[in-house]
């Protein structure tokens, strides 16, 4: 068995043009009669443009299968000892993208501010704006919040602070993308489910300032 | 290699007492020096009481690892051709539990009504109340909505309607738990990503009333 491997990933955001190129590539190879695997990190339907690729395939009459994945929105907080829900602490969670172009400014921050756990994917560069909006809409400044960079990888680093302090602390520590932001009381559970003593699958190796 | 297998799952909700029994069982077997696998459907930190079990283990000094799973909140809609996000349609999604005791009445429905995609796990019995609350908080009655019962299983059935009609349609079709509810414009994408012509991994085998 041999396979052609085409790398189409990006560290930063993919522009629309590049997404069109990916769609065209999938269709072109499939039409040649090849079996094509489009491999993505995380889940293809969680800000992964999976639906757009499915639409392109559908429009071209190419049959496809979708295999859901383990999303970083849940698995990366877990890797840092933070559950997104907890019966006594959070009975709902919301997931948004922090990519400016995908809608930091278009999101309904007033509504998101009222969801017990908020997870922001790709939220590092917009972190000062995101925390400011949540504070503006009444989330208490001492709400625990965390950023996990390179989650589940050997380079994983976690910074824990409060909504008021997080952006400054993250800047000071020089965290780099990819990163996942979690805001809510569930972040406090990290102390009780601490990786230090019990060892989660991917113990946080980074910086912890106690909340 | 041999393993003792203890079934602790339930179809309906687990009471607090039963959860205590599960916690005690994990600790007791671990203290005997056994390696214990606590296997759950979905993700342990998404309304799975995983955090509570971790706390019990932590309190007992039992080391543990958490392995995140594929959550039904994302995978079950996907199995019915519904992506929870889409660049042009939904830049955020929220996940809640429909279990009365876990908080249908305590949830902030006014805020949840403003999130583009809402996923309700275990929401079948409370469906009339859930749809009523969303309507009350201004979600348009013609918003597409779906219930997927036994998602990803051979018995998978999907009912698609609108927020105004869904509860009655689901009752008429006699859907049974486990079921996942999805509300939002993403449900409409099901037509474009339809399982009928292209075959998702687990094509919806059920009832489809077009939206």
> pLDDT per residue over B128-141, tens digit each?
999 999 999 999 99
Q: With 50 as the cut, is the pLDDT of residue A199 above it?
A: no
DSSP state of B86: B
**Which chain B residue lies closest to A113 (C-alpha atoms)?**
B111
Q: What's the CA angle centered on A141, arms A137 and A142, to 5 degrees?
A: 140
Q: What's the CA angle centered on B163, arms B137 and B98, to 5 degrees?
A: 75
B70 contacts chain A (CB < 8 A):
yes
Average pLDDT rounded to a whole number, residues B101-118: 86
Instruction: Name every chain B residue with its beta carbon within 8 A of the beta carbon of A92.
Output: 94-97, 103, 107-108, 112
**Predicted local confidence at residue B16, as pLDDT:** 54
Q: With 70 as the cut, is the pLDDT of residue B97 above it?
A: yes
**Predicted local confidence at residue B209, as pLDDT:** 33
C-alpha distance from residue B105 to each of A103, B119, B126, B130, B183 (Å): 30, 16, 10, 9, 18
Structure-token pair, residue A60? 């071209």
| A107–B65 C-beta distance less than 8 A | no
Instruction: Name every chain A residue with its beta carbon within 8 A of the beta carbon of B186.
Output: 51
The residue with greater pLDDT, B72 or B194, is B72
Q: With 90 as the cut, is the pLDDT of residue B186 above it?
A: yes
C-alpha span between A64 and A43 (Å, rounded): 16
- How far does Cα A118 stand from its chain's mean position? 11
**Which chain B residue lies closest to A196 (C-alpha atoms)?**
B63
The residue with greater pLDDT, B192 or A38, is A38
Instruction: Name every chain A residue with its beta carbon within 8 A of the beta carbon of B70.
Output: 43, 68-70
**Predicted local confidence at residue A192, as pLDDT:** 78
Q: Name which of A106, A115, A198 is nearest B63 (Cβ-Cβ).
A: A198
Q: Are the C-beta atoms of A190 and B66 separated by less than 8 Å?
A: no
Q: What's the CA angle centered on B135, arms B208 and B180, to 5 degrees?
A: 45
Tell me which residue of B72, B203, B90 sits closest to A52, measured CA to CA. B90
Q: Using 50, 70 and 90 to split pLDDT, how confident is the model at A16?
A: low
Average pLDDT rounded to a whole number, residues A64-77: 94
**Global pTM value:** 0.89
Q: Are the C-beta atoms of A151 and A133 separated by less than 8 Å?
A: no
Instruction: Name every chain A residue with its beta carbon within 8 A of the beta carbon of B46.
Output: 74, 84-85, 93
Instruction: Name every chain A residue with its beta carbon within 8 A of the beta carbon of B65.
Output: 199-201
Average pLDDT rounded to a whole number, residues B144-153: 96
| A86–B193 C-beta distance less than 8 A | no
Q: Using 50, 70 and 90 to split pLDDT, how confident is the model at A109?
A: very high
Determine phi and psi for B207, rounding to 5 degrees.
-95, 135
| Percent of chain B topping pLDDT 70 | 85
**Predicted local confidence at residue B17, as pLDDT:** 60
Mark which residues 89-118 of B lie under 8 Å from A by CB.
Answer: 91-97, 102-103, 106-108, 110-115
Q: Using 50, 70 and 90 to split pLDDT, how confident is the model at B67?
A: very high
Q: With 80 as the cut, is the pLDDT of residue B102 above it?
A: no
Structure-token pair, residue B130? 């859930």
- How far does Cα B123 stand from its chain's mean position? 8
């Amino acid at each position: 068995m041999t396979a052609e491997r085409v790398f189409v990933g990006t560290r930063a955001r993919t522009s629309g043009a590049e997404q069109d190129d990916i769609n065209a590539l999938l269709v072109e190879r499939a039409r040649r009669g090849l079996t094509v695997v489009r491999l993505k990190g995380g889940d293809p339907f969680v800000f992964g443009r999976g639906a757009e690729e499915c639409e392109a395939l559908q429009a071209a009459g190419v049959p496809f299968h979708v295999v859901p994945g383990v999303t970083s929105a849940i698995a990366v907080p877990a890797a840092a000892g933070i559950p997104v829900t907890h019966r006594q602490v959070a009975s709902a969670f919301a997931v948004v993208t922090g990519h400016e172009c995908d809608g930091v400014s278009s999101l309904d921050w007033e509504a998101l501010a009222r969801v017990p756990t908020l997870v922001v994917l790709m939220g590092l560069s917009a972190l000062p704006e995101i925390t400011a909006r949540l504070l503006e809409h009444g989330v208490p400044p001492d709400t625990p919040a965390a950023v996990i960079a390179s989650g589940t990888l050997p380079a994983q680093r976690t910074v824990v602070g409060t909504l008021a302090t997080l952006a400054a602390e993250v800047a000071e520590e020089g965290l780099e993308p990819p990163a996942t932001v979690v805001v809510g009381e569930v972040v406090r559970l990290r102390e009780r489910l601490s990786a230090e003593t019990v060892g989660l699958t991917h113990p946080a190796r980074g910086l912890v300032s106690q909340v």
